[in-house]
Structure 1
């Protein structure tokens, strides 16, 4: 009894540690969202709606941040193999069951989280939970499936290397977080791919997928009590091992640049990024609004000179093909910046306008511009919870990062509190006179050197 109580205290404290240091309470979730934590640490969250369909997802703390250089890509490899059959169910039996029940499974792997999802009718939730249970308790990695997926992933690696944007953002993470696990690619490398086998995949499933790293989330017409009972029946007996707590690694940001020159490409792809706050910080909402203030532009748009965003007006003069801001938040750090595609002779002009706009955010943000960005951010947040699938993923991300869910109205209130004075202060903190991380792919001969880019991050006339 004492052992069980001590392990329960460990799992509760670990959940608090992984969710910005506080335990969740019923007041922290909207009325239609309910949260339960089992004694072994598994989190169960449900959002009850009147949708005729349900989305049930299994979230796990897994990804390239939890990998080492020697096994980088193992979680992405497991993602491709997990639905290929179990010890008590063959691949064909699983496919027949999904076809007859109308269940559609999917899986995604990121740098910090891995998500297994199922879209189904509410009455099929028991089948979905049972399949998730077989995934973790009865994984069967057959040699023929391993070789087939190894071939598929080899082609996926080739396709990824042929996509300039994907290569660019992989390079951006490598230079911004160099020497840390966040620098690793999700897809891994060809060398590691050849070394993965069934025994190693089974060991990773057993050792890494501990109960205190898991969360079951549903959105739709699924009752919370039924969901909790089903999960407790299948996973309540899982006992976590405190020794298997994974190390997230450091999140050190390094201002630097990486350039892959390829004159065969018609345009250059460039990203300028800065160290930004993580998902759990109060500055997250301000930086989200700041990203929305930059707008976006594509050359296919007409009448760009009448665009509301100043950077889009500059892009419409022909100095870029397209641009878009990005904000990639992680648990404790993030990347915030601008990605653009331009002709090699216009790189300096476009970069000048980007830095001019960023300095304007820090020093000359106007009330009307901030309100436009806040309203655009509210629209972005609203779109992230429309439908059962998006809403389920939103609940899962918040449960994994915060151990609680913030309602849409609370998110609106956080964004409404951002004014021009707050935005100037926060942008000055993260952007003004800061060393950026620069990544470029393509004909980059005319891209200014890093010292000149760094010098453009402050104004002497401030």
Structure 2
């Protein structure tokens, strides 16, 4: 069964997922809004705002916010992505009223103190510098920039020092009003939670909030291309990407199986061929990123610079081979078992449940039962998995990024040449 949705008059949706026998709850407030909703001059503002609300909200100082939650044994956190911003609280059952009240204050009545804005610009500048200094973080930004060049999806979620510079209290308050609009919010709680109580708390905390118009993101366009950055480090960091299915595409379950078979674990094709058989990489794995109207299949690997191009060619060959010939029966069975197990394991995490309920409601309009998702993952056959791969290749575009010693640079173009020459 799926959890029912209660919608407030202003459009905010409330989803309760009571579970017997537990003494804690997980609460998630998910907002349909993030870095993808920004224009270039406001790049990073959503993430910056998420930082600022924790510096004071309502009658609470920065210290009060965490002390009120932690004083009752709970935890509070937040995250900003391209399409969503989320606030999360974990606590004992009796703390649900406090959790809803604190989260509501963060998004509805942030203090946005000018002195804190100045200080936080320095903090985020350090975060930006840290990401740049971390090769296996920065290489993902490089690949994303090539995949979605000139678009919000291609810019770092953190923004840049220059794009954050114009922020002042008035500008940030206006951005908060647009971003944290109740009709684009879902409040979900899982665990020791009473549905009627949660709805009443939501009504009291959010009921008088007024929805604000927002500009929808432009449709995503996977561009592709190669990026290299030479640094004097020991290992080359590589990311390869292909355009993939969006969150609403019926081929998505088959694509998820394709990703798992390609590089989802130690039994995957890439791990066995690149690491075990040829020793080309210590770490290599495939992943999928799914957006409302776009998607990415990616491969990350670390390799010695002098073998980076060889690894790129092998990666391309494995992608093409799986797309052309499909998986074996054993590979398909393993992938289905792994994804199914992961799905039901996450069902045993209150935080995962609450987060999933909120996000699915934003994307699909309602939560999707775990059993339904499992059935969809188990349905595709080998031919459907192969078709998912062929569809990704049919665009004729790929993005590649290489960060490391200069000798590794040719791997970026080697991936694209091998991929489409083989295809």
TM class by shorter chain equals over 0.9
Matched, 1:272 2:231: no
Looking at structure 1, the residues matched to 78 and 337 of structure 2 have their Cα atoms a distance apart, in angstroms, of 32
Partner of residue 296, structure 2: 335
Equivalence map 1:241-252=2 (5 Å) = 241=212, 244-252=213-221
Equivalence map 1:362-377=2 (5 Å) = 362-365=323-326, 366-377=328-339
Partner of residue 280, structure 2: 319
Structure 1 residue corresponding to 2:385, chosen from 413, 423, 431: 423
Looking at structure 1, the residues matched to 245 and 346 of structure 2 have their Cα atoms a distance apart, in angstroms, of 20
Contact 1:374–1:418 at 8 Å: present in 2 too?
no
Matched, 1:179 2:150: yes
Looking at structure 2, the residues matched to 150 and 459 of structure 1 have their Cα atoms a distance apart, in angstroms, of 47
Looking at structure 1, the residues matched to 95 and 415 of structure 2 have their Cα atoms a distance apart, in angstroms, of 56
**Structure 1 residue 132: Cα displacement:** 2.4
Structure 2 residue corresponding to 1:71, chosen from 30, 34, 42: 42
Contact 2:69–2:75 at 8 Å: present in 1 too?
yes
**Structure 1 residue 321: Cα displacement:** 2.1
Moved more, 423-432 or 222-231: 423-432
SS across alignment from 1:266: coil
Partner of residue 129, structure 2: 158
The change in CA–CA distance for 1:428 and 1:389 in structure 2 (over 3 A counts) is same
The change in CA–CA distance for 1:429 and 1:123 in structure 2 (over 3 A counts) is same
**Structure 1 residue 266: Cα displacement:** 0.8
Looking at structure 1, the residues matched to 143 and 113 of structure 2 have their Cα atoms a distance apart, in angstroms, of 36
Contact 1:261–1:444 at 8 Å: present in 2 too?
yes
CA offsets 1:283-320 (integer angstroms, 9 cap, x no match)? 111111111102357xxxxxxxxx64343232222211
Equivalence map 1:299-448=2 (5 Å) = 308-314=267-273, 315-316=275-276, 317-365=278-326, 366-431=328-393, 434-448=396-410
Moved more, 451-460 or 358-367: 451-460
**Structure 1 residue 60: Cα displacement:** 0.7
Matched, 1:45 2:15: yes
Looking at structure 1, the residues matched to 334 and 237 of structure 2 have their Cα atoms a distance apart, in angstroms, of 28
CA offsets 1:365-424 (integer angstroms, 9 cap, x no match)? 222222222222223323333311111111122111111122221111111111111111
Partner of residue 260, structure 2: 292
Looking at structure 1, the residues matched to 64 and 340 of structure 2 have their Cα atoms a distance apart, in angstroms, of 44
SS across alignment from 1:445: helix
Looking at structure 1, the residues matched to 113 and 99 of structure 2 have their Cα atoms a distance apart, in angstroms, of 22
Looking at structure 2, the residues matched to 310 and 130 of structure 1 have their Cα atoms a distance apart, in angstroms, of 49
SS across alignment from 1:195: coil
Contact 1:56–1:218 at 8 Å: present in 2 too?
yes
The change in CA–CA distance for 1:321 and 1:155 in structure 2 (over 3 A counts) is same
Partner of residue 192, structure 1: 163
Looking at structure 1, the residues matched to 68 and 385 of structure 2 have their Cα atoms a distance apart, in angstroms, of 52
The change in CA–CA distance for 1:441 and 1:227 in structure 2 (over 3 A counts) is same
**Structure 1 residue 151: Cα displacement:** 2.5
Looking at structure 2, the residues matched to 309 and 75 of structure 1 have their Cα atoms a distance apart, in angstroms, of 37
Partner of residue 228, structure 2: 259
SS across alignment from 1:335: strand
Looking at structure 2, the residues matched to 332 and 160 of structure 1 have their Cα atoms a distance apart, in angstroms, of 27
Partner of residue 26, structure 1: none
Looking at structure 2, the residues matched to 156 and 455 of structure 1 have their Cα atoms a distance apart, in angstroms, of 35
Contact 2:227–2:412 at 8 Å: present in 1 too?
no
Partner of residue 55, structure 2: 84
Moved more, 127-136 or 167-176: 127-136
The change in CA–CA distance for 1:128 and 1:446 in structure 2 (over 3 A counts) is closer
Q: How many pairs align? A: 419
Note the aligned Cα RMSD (angstroms). 2.1
Looking at structure 2, the residues matched to 296 and 137 of structure 1 have their Cα atoms a distance apart, in angstroms, of 40
